[in-house]
Structure formats: structure tokens, C-alpha cells
Amino acid sequence: MLYLPSEQGQGIVEYALLLALVTLVVIVILSLLGPAIGNVFSNLYANV
């Protein structure tokens, strides 16, 4: 019991991996839907 391993770094790595995964998903969604969203705003601007 003289040495107890610290697991604090493990939690930080897990949060970093989760943040990277969410960022990747957002980038993929925006790259797929970006032109469609741009067209909607262009049509709204043209009609105003």
C-alpha cells in the first residue's frame, strides 16, 4: 500500500477523446449539410 496509482490522468484523456469525437462528428455533419444550409439562407436573402 505504499504506492497507489493515480487515475486522474485517465479521466482527462477520456474527456479529450470524447471532445475529439464530438468535434469530428460536428465537422462531418457541417461538411455534408453546409451547402444545403447556405442555399436556405441564400433563398431567404433573395426573397427579402
- Write the pLDDT tens digit of every residue in 1-46: 566 666 666 788 899 999 999 999 999 999 999 888 888 889 888 8
* C-alpha grid cell, residue 42: 441564400
First to last CA, the chain: 73
The pLDDT score that the predictor gives to residue 5 is 63
pTM of the full structure:
0.60
Whole-angstrom distance, CA of residue 48 vs CA of residue 44: 6
Residues in the chain: 48
Whole-angstrom distance, CA of residue 5 vs CA of residue 11: 13
The pLDDT score that the predictor gives to residue 37 is 86
Among candidates 25, 43, 21, which has minimal Cα distance to 33?
25
